[in-house]
Structure 1
Amino acid sequence: MTVKPTFPEAVTADPIFLADVRAGLSKSQKTLSPKYFYDEAGSELFEAITALPEYYPTRTEIGILDERGPEIAALLPKAVALVEFGSGSTAKLRCLLRHLPELSAYVPVDVSGDFLAAQAQTLRADFPNLAVEPVVADFTRPFALPDTVGMAPRAGFFPGSTVGNFEPAEAATLLDRFGEILGPDSLLVLGVDLVKDTPRLEAAYDDAAGVTAAFNMNLLKRINHELGGDFDLEAFRHRAVFNADASRIEMHLVSCKDQSVRIGGDSFPFREGETIHTESSYKYTLDSFRALAATAGWRSETVWTDADALFSVHILRRD
């Protein structure tokens, strides 16, 4: 019989994190927000995921941006200010920057000020003529662009198919907010993952090396460490499944037995086979995404895909 580990009650638990976990685990379908994947260990695991042979989105999107970079640049105004929502690795950005020598400013937006400062320093060193104007903000909420952007034409950059991590109605709200921030007649360059055969989709989220499983399980480790939880990590397993009716990949953590977990003084019962839904990743057809964008006030200008139609890069214009 496995002895369940015990953990001390978290002394300086983040109250918002704790409240979100309590609320999510109190639902009939237990949930945890995917935004909590990304502590230091989770971020390292995600970077490892992007290099896996099964995980096609990152390398496919970079391939499209690299091949179509001149065409994308030709559609953007010469002195455009480029706003990246949720900036991460600069690999995708660099595919565009080399084709945009007259860019008036690059505005990376992220919640992590330290991360932004480090990225800005590197970009300024590599592109000394580029004005880098970082903004520390949650891109899902309204924020102001730097005054230095002034009246320059604006374009948004939202790679990585992050839009697929939002429920469709939430994605439409997010796209509308981007339009409000960027203003009328602005452009938006974004990546969108496409519907494809189920085995390929599920393999991308349940790789043979178990890296995605470790990424998912790390969320429970984080709760144990930061919130004083007592999840038995050996009593849960990772599951990824394509829900064809909803057109989304779902990631779950499955309870391997009847058990109870304590977090922050509360107890949460689990039945054997009961799951915690940790992430959804919606997959679109070209037409279904154009229709979603239209509901948010964006008109499709053009779209590119790879030869196997695994992934797409769209340019939208704000009406």
Structure 2
Amino acid sequence: MGVVRHLRQVDADHAGVDVAFRADVHAGLSQAQKAIPARWFYDATGSALFEDITALPEYYPTRSETDLLKRHAADLAQAIGPGRAVVELGSGSSTKTPLLLDAISPAAYVPVDISGDFLRDSAEQLAERFPGLPVYPVEADFTQPVPLPREICPLPKLGFFPGSTIGNMVARTAIDLLRIWRKALGDGSQLLIGIDRIKDRETLIAAYDDPAGVTAAFNLNLLERINRELGGDIATANFTHRAVWNDVNARIEMHLVAECDMDFTVDGRAYHMAKGETIHSENSHKYGPRDASLLLRAGGWTPVASWDDADPAFALILAEATEFRSAP
């Protein structure tokens, strides 16, 4: 069957730059605490660097989640059943996806990712591996409402949200996202989501600040992307990567730290950063079992099964769409 149709739902300007990227960069650099949403890490270079991160010995989430998918394939097949359209949010290279597809015998696969080149390559590779499976790649920002391919509308659906990507969002944003996809996937749908658990600080810091410097390169590529796509003149050599554990908010924070006072422009707009000032580039929230359940329920999903890996702690949670009830 192969790749049936590639849908592109990104709003680009006359220069081919994502309009939302441009707006987020200027808004973020104008704040007292500068911050840029983590989704803009994933241009082609950033996506490739993230795949390198997932292979690092310090980066446990991919290893733990892959192990869970392998060990509990039969349980997943029984709980999910065959014939669903699998809609993967932030699919990336889809490296874990074949384990799920092998287990549940789906009717279609819809990878949704903001990095178009990376999406096309991974969709083609997966279509070759599953020649009888219709594959409908959708290039879009999955944090916003995304119209799904019309071909899967009549099918029951399974949202697949691996990698604990939900942790990149503060609670209110995560709940909004879960509600968006509860509506998009519809009544009777399911959601299989990866959730990273709270664990010791040393394990967490090592996973986000590896000694090989791959995560640092991934973080710094955000500045390179701004220079490439928005005509910036940021001296990236004057920034360093920092990962810190915020115990109050139960999250790892990644920052880009200015090592000296500097001035730079983006799109011809001037910005200043003082030595020690940072650009907050990512959060990675960690959840205990009760917190994860509350988050999902607030987003319109009822947890029905959970598979946990104890070392390091990570969970796969299967949830069902909560029925909408009208007010009495």
Per the normalisation by structure 1, the TM-score is 0.90
Q: Tell me: CA distance 1:16–1:315, structure 2 relative to 1, closer, same or farther (3 Å).
A: closer
- Per-residue CA shift, 1:150-170, capped at 9, x if unaligned? 433221111111111111111
1:99, distance to aligned residue in structure 2 (A): 1.7
1:114, distance to aligned residue in structure 2 (A): 4.6
- Matches for 1:13-52 after TM superposition, within 5 Å: 14=17, 16-52=20-56
- Per-residue CA shift, 1:179-228, capped at 9, x if unaligned? 11111231100101111001110111101111111111111222223323
Residue 7 (structure 1) aligns with: none
In 1, the alpha carbon distance for the partners of 2:121 and 2:263 equals 42
In 2, the alpha carbon distance for the partners of 1:110 and 1:272 equals 35
In 1, the alpha carbon distance for the partners of 2:266 and 2:156 equals 49
1:147, distance to aligned residue in structure 2 (A): 2.9
Residue 4 (structure 2) aligns with: none
In 1, the alpha carbon distance for the partners of 2:40 and 2:63 equals 24
1:270, distance to aligned residue in structure 2 (A): 1.5
* Aligned-partner residue type, residue 49 of structure 1: I
Matched, 1:179 2:182: yes
Among 58, 64, 79, the residue aligned to 2:62: 58
- Per-residue CA shift, 1:123-159, capped at 9, x if unaligned? 3322222222333333222233333224332211111
On the 8 A contact 1:254/1:275 being kept in 2, the answer is yes
* Aligned-partner residue type, residue 38 of structure 1: Y
1:40, distance to aligned residue in structure 2 (A): 2.4
1:82, distance to aligned residue in structure 2 (A): 1.5
Residue 298 (structure 2) aligns with: 295
Residue 222 (structure 1) aligns with: 225
On the 8 A contact 2:60/2:312 being kept in 1, the answer is no
Which consecutive unaligned segments of at least 5 residues does structure 2 have?
1-13, 323-328
Q: Tell me: CA distance 1:21–1:120, structure 2 relative to 1, closer, same or farther (3 Å).
A: closer
Among 203, 209, 213, the residue aligned to 2:216: 213
In 1, the alpha carbon distance for the partners of 2:118 and 2:40 equals 17
Deviation larger for 221-230 or 291-300? 221-230
1:236, distance to aligned residue in structure 2 (A): 1.4
1:18, distance to aligned residue in structure 2 (A): 3.3
- Per-residue CA shift, 1:60-109, capped at 9, x if unaligned? 111111111110111113222221122222321111122223x2222222
* Aligned-partner residue type, residue 207 of structure 1: D
Q: Tell me: CA distance 1:301–1:34, structure 2 relative to 1, closer, same or farther (3 Å).
A: same
Among 83, 89, 98, the residue aligned to 1:85: 89
- Per-residue CA shift, 1:14-67, capped at 9, x if unaligned? 354333222111100011222221222222211111111111111111111111
Q: How many pairs are equivalent?
A: 308
In 2, the alpha carbon distance for the partners of 1:165 and 1:68 equals 26
Give the SS at the match of 1:44.
Answer: helix
Identical counterparts, % of pairs:
47
Q: Tell me: CA distance 1:136–1:37, structure 2 relative to 1, closer, same or farther (3 Å).
A: closer
Among 235, 256, 263, the residue aligned to 1:260: 263
On the 8 A contact 2:42/2:115 being kept in 1, the answer is no
Give the SS at the match of 2:240.
Answer: strand
* Aligned-partner residue type, residue 51 of structure 2: E
Give the SS at the match of 2:104.
Answer: coil
Deviation larger for 108-117 or 156-165? 108-117
Residue 148 (structure 2) aligns with: 145
In 2, the alpha carbon distance for the partners of 1:43 and 1:146 equals 24
Per the normalisation by structure 2, the TM-score is 0.88
In 2, the alpha carbon distance for the partners of 1:228 and 1:72 equals 47
On the 8 A contact 1:116/1:134 being kept in 2, the answer is yes
- Matches for 1:69-108 after TM superposition, within 5 Å: 69-101=73-105, 103-108=106-111
Deviation larger for 111-120 or 184-193? 111-120
Among 212, 236, 239, the residue aligned to 1:236: 239
Which consecutive unaligned segments of at least 5 residues does structure 1 have?
1-10
Residue 5 (structure 1) aligns with: none
* Aligned-partner residue type, residue 162 of structure 1: T
In 2, the alpha carbon distance for the partners of 1:264 and 1:13 equals 14
1:177, distance to aligned residue in structure 2 (A): 1.1
Larger Rg: 1
On the 8 A contact 1:13/1:227 being kept in 2, the answer is no
